[in-house]
Structure 1
Amino acid sequence: MEYFLLVPLLAFILFLHWWFFSPSNTQQRLLLPPSPTKLPIIGNLHQLGSLPHRSLHKLSKKYGPVMLLHFGSKPVIVASSVDAARDIMKTHDLVWSGRPKSSMTDGLFYGSKDVAFSPYGEYWRQIRSITVLHLLNNKRVQSYRRVREEEISNMIDKIRQKCDSVIDLRDVLSCMTNNIISRVNIGRTYNEGESGIAVKALLEQLLVLTGTLNIGDYIPWLKWVNKINGLNSRVKKVAKDLDAFLESVIEEGMIRNKKGECNVGEAIDFLGVLLEIQNGKETGYTLQRDSLKAILLDAFVAGTESTYTALEWTMTELLRHPRVLKKLEDEVRELGQGKTEITEDDLGNMHYLKAVIKESLRLHPPNPLLVPRESMEDVKLLDYHIPAKTEVLINAWAIGRDPLLWDDPEEYRPERFLNSDIDFKGLNFELIPFGAGRRGCPGITFAIIINELALARIVHKFNLALPKEEDLDMTECHGLAVRRKLPLLAVATSWSS
């Protein structure tokens, strides 16, 4: 009799063991996010498309604002709601502060020793502190005012010389931004001297490569493909040539420092600050040469394309919406009445201008999926279990167009920000073009002041219109920053009060 009772008892124990410890049931209890069907080997890579922010937004409408994809063997979460963004960048910000391993950034940024791509840890905390406290603090940003105003005045002169003819606005905006960043970064424009054209082309290649999907990172046994298609060779050549440029720049900076020279007026350039830190004068922390070069590269990459891309999208939307352009002109010209130039002191009173820039960043965040993060341990994301070492893409573009957050989200209407406290500085997760939390962009103030002053001065000096019969193509082009596929052409005529 006892034997017959023992058999079902053992069977019940075995059932409980199977239920609690079998992988399939463990996954069910842990509740992973919904996931589209994946293909063998490549997973969901085929669903990224040429414009991933749009493709992933479309997928999220079917699978929800938190979904699990697989890029090859790598699990990737896509977050497309304000609640998910807040959970990642605020509630569990520390857990999500990791960066996924990238052979591309390792090859280009000295083993990912820059601020943007370096893994979370003591090294990252040190260089982040250097960037925030010594390069981009408010006093330092203000010290570069003369550089900004000079280069923006140079841009205005270029537009004036081409008045009443078709102007490539991307060209003048990118030139202005590149010159500001270069002077602030290394004390001179990088196109000074015979190597200028080569350096500009190198930095453009760097931007393209940084935004290139490396199949070997997601399917390791396919790394050999990058040898066949030439990607590895391109990365090595660009890295080698940029390193030679940076070495020459550092040598120049060391000579200038010994002579006590400073190329940006009263302000010392980033290179000068970093050289002082390298000697342990500022922080007591010794900065290795590769780290110094990686930080300089970061400034070129983060400060150039995303800044002028945001400006180009703003000008595009203004030309598409004459009512908004007229309202902006009225504000700027009234405040600038009787003045030769708009200065940074005037910007605080230009509330509509600030709303215009916010609305442009809502619809056109330069980096719509932000920089990927990675979970450093198991974590909850809303109601879902997310294992350690899971990559996450936050779709800022989708959040900016969420009808649950914005009335008429596809409409360009800056007025929505006039009586709103929503800002882009990382506290309001409805608007996160620069990210938020520990891994948010440290250069927000620097970038925005360039955009505001450049836009104010253009509107103050010129009437802008599309060329006759010009079809304003809004097609996007994917890269590190998502910009217009075609340059923005416009006709400027002088305006005088």
Structure 2
Amino acid sequence: MDLFFTIVAAFTIFWFTWTYLKSKGKPPSPPGPRGLPLVGSLPFLRPDLHSYFAELASTYGPVVKLQLGSKLGILVTSPSAARQVLKDQDTVFANRDVPMTAKVLTGGRDIAWNPYGPEWRMLRKVCVIKMLSNATLDKAYALRRREVRETVGYLYNKAGSPVNVGEQMFLTILNVVTNMLWGGTVEGEARASLGAEFRQVISETTELLGMPNISDFFPALAPLDLQGAVKRMKKPMDKLNAIIESIIEQRLKKEKESGSSSAVEFKDFVQFLLQLKDEEDSKTPLTMDHIKALLLDMVVGGTDTSSNSIEFTMAEIINKPELENPLVAIPTPRLMDPTLYK
């Protein structure tokens, strides 16, 4: 027992000495909870982070320091400080640590996790110019209108029956996004089966990406993968990569058979990326890894978050009838048109 307390005391003295020497000569940090040795404030985090952060802000002020394992986190809660971080000093705070699961999925080469620099600016430019431009969105208006009408018609015909709203929203958004990315929507029974499978894979992917991982807070433990998050991520990654690689191979095969992609008047996003890769006219070339990472960003980010938001909104309306009455009172003559559901 004496040996145990001796080891604990020696470790505690070492930790405080190391912390003091590490902070010596550095500018003062914002105020914040002291936390525990090694783990910091990790044991005190609660599932309702927004409430926990609000309590910290009321105690320590608008800028709070949080020691999370070996990583230092800064909590910003006031509008003025948030403006400094997110707008005025955006380039200073643009970089972020890549979670181990994200490294498995995209290698950190996508637009979400790439560090700010020439490579990130190139990826952002590609997305803004081609995928998110007004011209591209205008071209996809008819597609969005058709998909929304089909979904509204499906829900109309299911009146009085239980409906999986989240799944239907996911299928609708999936069809729109995939059509813009690589053309051709999935229809009929294949639409439902592929959509359900795709949603399961993407749901598992986003869950693993958002899951707290010991390896992210203690990088020295990353090779051990104590929670098995990296191992679990490899399964959905293989499925998503297989789909993306199949789409790219099909597009390359079509271009080879037709002669040249430039001969085609309309270019979907995959076609545009492959042509841009072949041109290599920029200082930062676009690689096949970049293409796969961008497509994964678009599919995962464009489907799961949107469908979850709509599902959450519908659940709130159902749970709070006082929200439903004002919505029902809004005149919607176009929605009452029977031809809308044919």
Q: Scaled by the length of structure 2, what TM-score is found? A: 0.80
What is the SS of the residue equivalent to 1:53? helix
Counterpart for residue 298 of structure 1: 297
Cα separation, 1, equivalents of 2:127 and 2:86 = 20
Which of 229, 240, 243 aligns to 2:241? It is 243
* Partners of 2:91 and 2:116 within 8 A in 1: no
Counterpart for residue 169 of structure 1: 165
Structure 2 counterpart of 1:275, one-letter code: L
Q: How does 1:266-415 map to 2 (within 5 A)?
A: 268-280=267-279, 286-322=285-321, 324-333=323-332, 340-341=339-340
What is the SS of the residue equivalent to 2:35? coil
Which structure's relative contact order is higher, taking Cα pairs within 8 Å and 6+ residues apart?
A: 1
Counterpart for residue 54 of structure 1: 51
Counterpart for residue 466 of structure 1: none
Change (3 A) 1:178 1:282: farther
Cα separation, 2, equivalents of 1:204 and 1:155 = 21
Counterpart for residue 85 of structure 2: 88
Which of 152, 162, 180 aligns to 2:176? It is 180
Which of 103, 111, 114 aligns to 1:118? It is 114
Cα separation, 1, equivalents of 2:75 and 2:312 = 25
How far 1:216 sits from its partner (Å)? 1.3
Counterpart for residue 5 of structure 2: none
Cα separation, 1, equivalents of 2:266 and 2:331 = 29
Cα separation, 1, equivalents of 2:227 and 2:282 = 44
What is the SS of the residue equivalent to 1:43? coil
Cα separation, 1, equivalents of 2:176 and 2:260 = 19
Which of 252, 255, 277 aligns to 2:253? It is 255
Counterpart for residue 6 of structure 2: none
* Partners of 1:41 and 1:72 within 8 A in 2: yes
* Partners of 1:186 and 1:271 within 8 A in 2: yes
* Partners of 1:43 and 1:70 within 8 A in 2: yes
Counterpart for residue 150 of structure 2: 154
* Partners of 1:277 and 1:285 within 8 A in 2: no
How far 1:309 sits from its partner (Å)? 1.9
Q: Deviations over 1:345-391 (max 9, x none)?
A: xxxxxxxxxxxxxxxxxxxxxxxxxxxxxxxxxxxxxxxxxxxxxxx
Change (3 A) 1:240 1:336: closer
Structure 1 counterpart of 2:82, one-letter code: A
Q: Deviations over 1:374-429 (max 9, x none)?
A: xxxxxxxxxxxxxxxxxxxxxxxxxxxxxxxxxxxxxxxxxxxxxxxxxxxxxxxx
Q: Which runs of 5+ in 2 are unaligned?
A: 1-20
Which of 41, 46, 50 aligns to 1:44? It is 41
Greater helix percent: which structure? 2
Change (3 A) 1:193 1:113: same
Structure 2 counterpart of 1:291, one-letter code: H
* Partners of 1:277 and 1:283 within 8 A in 2: no
Which of 110, 130, 137 aligns to 1:141? It is 137
What is the SS of the residue equivalent to 1:304? helix
Cα separation, 1, equivalents of 2:197 and 2:323 = 40
Counterpart for residue 68 of structure 1: 65
* Matched positions, count: 314
* Partners of 1:318 and 1:325 within 8 A in 2: yes
Q: Does 1:98 align with 2:78?
A: no
Q: How does 1:412-427 map to 2 (within 5 A)?
A: none
How far 1:37 sits from its partner (Å)? 2.0
What is the SS of the residue equivalent to 1:95? coil
Change (3 A) 1:338 1:193: closer
How far 1:150 sits from its partner (Å)? 1.7
What is the SS of the residue equivalent to 1:97? coil
Which of 224, 231, 240 aligns to 1:233? It is 231
Cα separation, 1, equivalents of 2:321 and 2:259 = 51
Cα separation, 2, equivalents of 1:198 and 1:249 = 17
* Partners of 1:114 and 1:291 within 8 A in 2: yes
Q: Deviations over 1:296-344 (max 9, x none)?
A: 0000121111111222233234335555444334445157687955xxx
Change (3 A) 1:125 1:59: same
* Partners of 1:278 and 1:286 within 8 A in 2: yes
% of aligned pairs identical?
Answer: 29
Greater strand percent: which structure? 1
Q: Scaled by the length of structure 1, what TM-score is found? A: 0.57
Change (3 A) 1:233 1:281: closer
Change (3 A) 1:195 1:161: closer
Cα separation, 1, equivalents of 2:57 and 2:77 = 7
* Partners of 2:151 and 2:172 within 8 A in 1: yes
Which of 101, 104, 117 aligns to 1:107? It is 104
* Partners of 2:70 and 2:217 within 8 A in 1: yes
How far 1:25 sits from its partner (Å)? 7.4
